[in-house]
Structures are given as C-alpha cells and as structure tokens.
Amino acid sequence: MNGGRTAVELARSSLSGVVRHLRKEKEREEIDRIVCGYCQYEGIPFLRWQTFRNGKRHLRAECPECGRYIRWQRQTPANLAEVYRQQEEGRRSES
C-alpha cells in the first residue's frame, strides 16, 4: 500500500507537503514586489488588467516611477485585492 516506503520516509514526505502548503499560503497573503530594471524602483508595482485576443485576462505589473512593463503578476488573493484597490483609488482621483 505504501509503495515499499518506510514509516520514516512517509512521515518526511507528508511533512514536506505541509511545508510546501504553508509556503504557498504565505505567498498568497503577500503582494508580489518588483524591481524595475530601468529606474531601479523597488516596491509594489502598479497593477492593471490586460486582456489578450483569446479573451484571457492577466495582471500586468508596471513600474509606478517610470511606467515601464515589468512582468506578469500571479493572480493571488493579495495581488487581486491590490489591483482592485488601485482601481478604486484611480476612480476617486479622477472625480
């Protein structure tokens, strides 16, 4: 049933699974930070939605200082909350 693995090997594999799960949970709680390769800005990027021709939406991270594209951000709960916060902040400043 256990594929010929010993109890110690089974315990180690389940423990490493728990550690991986905890790391993923921590990543979901934190906003991904960036470093701009052009102006060297370090911190929270400006996030916006970009829709590709096939209809998929991605989070585009841009430098808030120089406005250049940095990378695509993961759609974690923290990043999604940040993009919506930034959108609301932008709407308030336009009015």
Q: Verify that 17 and 44 share a domain, yes or no.
A: no
Q: Are 79 and 57 in contact (CB under 8 A)?
A: no
Q: Are 75 and 59 in contact (CB under 8 A)?
A: yes
Looking at the 3D structure of the chain, how many domains does it have?
Answer: 2
**pLDDT digit string (tens) for 46-83?**
999 999 999 999 999 999 999 999 999 999 888 999 99
pLDDT at residue 41, as a whole number: 94
* pTM over the 0.95 mark: no
**pLDDT digit string (tens) for 16-36?**
665 565 565 555 567 788 899
* Pure H helices in the chain: 7-29, 77-94
pLDDT at residue 68, as a whole number: 95
Q: Verify that 44 and 85 share a domain, yes or no.
A: yes
**Interior CA angle at 74 toward 73 and 76, to 5°?**
125
Range of the domain at 8: 1-30
Q: How confident is the model at residue 1 (pLDDT cuts 50, 70, 90)?
A: low
Q: Verify that 61 and 85 share a domain, yes or no.
A: yes
